Amino acid sequence: MGPRVGESQPVGEPWPEVRPPVVELEGVSKTYGDVVALAGAGIVVRRGEMLAIVGPSGSGKSTMLNIMGTLDRPSAGTVRVDGHTVDALSDRQLSALRARTIGFVFQAFHLAAGVPALDAVADGLLYSGLPRGERRGLAERALRGVGLGQRLHNEPHQLSGGERQRVAIARAVLGDPPLLLADEPTGALDSHSGEVVMELLRTLHRAGTTVVVITHDRDIAASLPREVRIKDGRIAYDSAAGEAAAAAVTERVGA
């Protein structure tokens, strides 16, 4: 991970320390009746990172991603998105923050039947105030960006799974949100389509988007710059924390 275009690295300061957080969870818990889905999870995701969240089924991954994305509020703890404490915001303010900051991609694509790709993506800008022609122009550009310039008028049933997921990604990144949250984006895909989708996410990351991916695929998780493991609603391992600890040891040894 290097500096973003137009930024320069202060001498002697590693990037992970200087980039501002885009999402912070502090002691976040979520319970559903008797079920504890999250039990005091804490994590900081900084601008420009790409990380994998892994863990057994039911360990709280989706719950954490939904809370990161402000789709859900925690039962306890603090959530900050782009510096804003979510608790302090009204639903309306929260929707506005979410709309300009976060794009979502889900395993099941969430594309409406019968809606051509171009409209599915352009509809993401329905509340932007932009005229229809402009919305469609931006949508077309986004679809070309994910390699679907030849599929603009195809409906979901006329697209492969991998292509549907690329439509969903085009829709998610249309407003150029700094943060992309993906819940098992390759979970419903064969390995080739999954690799195409992952490569697309890596490309977005290289262009500066912060990308958080839940995955069951160990190879995918291991291939990303940071890996966070969840167990029983807690962060059981964070490779970034490992690096920070290792750096501290190196510093002590070196001193």
CA atoms within 13 A on the CB side of 250: 6
Query: Which tokens belong to 203?
Result: 């490309």
Out of ligand ATP, Mg ion, none, what residue 156 binds, judged by CB under 5 to 8 A for its kind, is: none
Residues ≥6 apart with Cβ < 8 Å to 194: 162, 186, 217, 220
Q: Does 35 bind ligand ATP (CB under 6 A)?
A: yes
Provide the mask over 40-69, with x wherever binding to Mg ion is found by CB under 5 A and - wherever it is not: ---------------------xx-------
Yes or no: say if 59 and 233 are a contact pair by the CB < 8 Å rule: yes
Name which of 37 and 142 has its Cβ closer to ligand ATP. Answer: 37
Nearest to 120 by CA among 104, 140, 146, 101: 140
- Residue found under tokens 């501290």: 248
Q: Which stretch binds ligand ATP (CB under 6 A): 5-13, 31-39, 93-101, 241-249?
A: 31-39
CB of 107 to ligand ATP, least distance (A): 8
b/e map 37-48, b = 16+ CB within 10 Å: bbbebebbbbbb
Name which of 61 and 166 has its Cβ closer to ligand ATP. Answer: 61
CB of 156 to ligand ATP, least distance (A): 22
Provide the mask over 56-85, with x wherever binding to ligand ATP is found by CB under 6 A and - wherever it is not: -xxxxxxx----------------------
Handedness of CA 75, 78, 79, 84 (dihedral sign): positive
CB of 125 to Mg ion, least distance (A): 28
Binding region for ligand ATP (CB under 6 A): 32, 35, 37, 55, 57-63
Binding region for Mg ion (CB under 5 A): 61-62
